Amino acid sequence: MTKQTIDSNLSLAILGLLSMRSMSGYGLRKVFLTTAMKAFSASPGAIYPALQRLERTGLTEGTIEKKNTLRPRMVYHLTRQGRAALVEALTRPITREDVIRRMDGLLLRFSFMSGLVGIDKMHEFMRALAAETEGYLEVIECELREFGPGLPLSGRAALELGVDSFRTTARWAKKTLAELKRHRTAKGE
């Protein structure tokens, strides 16, 4: 049995939601449509194929509910391998590339950690995230100082939002790290 990997943010989001409670494809769509996870595609053309892939690779299993009625529903739940693959994906090391090009995926990973991984793993994740974010922040702050004055208004403004965004993320990461630290010492004693 080859090691299963999770092929996209959408699949990761589906697994994460299923780790909290079993749901049908339509249920998942409603979550994506109505909650703060609106950044995800709620189109059937994305969700149903993703569910099929997850079931084919053994990460989820669907059971038919309301068998007797004329409108059955496929309710999916995580398998043991599914939970293991999810935990593996959540705790994978963070790279600079992740911070630059896949921050949304990092945030998604963190958002599902409670209950799936221990507080030490969460702490380590956030420590690395804070470090990489601050490291990259220095890089683009430098770029803004160097090139900003020579850029036209709109280009400079765009660059400034980039810097502001990473600053916001870095601040949040440090704040969250402190929160995790408090939780950890509270439990440690």
Partner DNA sequence: TGCAGCATGTAACCTGTTACATGATTAG
Partner DNA sequence: CTAATCATGTAACAGGTTACATGCTGCA
The radius of gyration of the chain from alpha carbons, rounded to an integer in Å, stands at: 20
Residue with tokens 């408090």: 182
Q: Under a CB-based contact definition with an 8 Å cutoff, are residues 16 and 3 in contact?
A: no
Would you call 27 exposed, middle or buried from its count of C-beta atoms within 10 A (0-12, 13-18, 19+)? middle
Choose between 97 and 146: whose C-beta lies nearer to DNA: 97
- State whether the Cα torsion 102-184-172-167 is positive or negative: negative
Residue 183 in contact with its own copies, rule: CB under 8 A = yes
Minimum distance between the CB of residue 102 and its own copies, rounded to whole angstroms? 10
Burial class (CB in 10 A: 0-12, 13-18, 19+), 146: exposed
Residue 128 CB, nearest distance to DNA (Å)? 19
**Contact partner at residue 50 from its own copies, DNA, none, CB < 5 to 8 Å by partner kind:** DNA
Question: Pattern 13-52, binding to DNA, x per CB under 7 A?
Answer: -----------xxxx-xx----------x-xxxx-xxxxx
Cross-strand pairs, 166:
none
Residues in contact with its own copies by CB under 8 A are 35-36, 38-39, 100-101, 107-108, 110-115, 122, 140, 143-144, 147, 152-155, 157-162, 164-165, 167-169, 171-172, 176, 179-180, 183
Residues in contact with DNA by CB under 7 A are 7-11, 24-27, 29-30, 41, 43-46, 48-53, 69-71, 73-74, 101
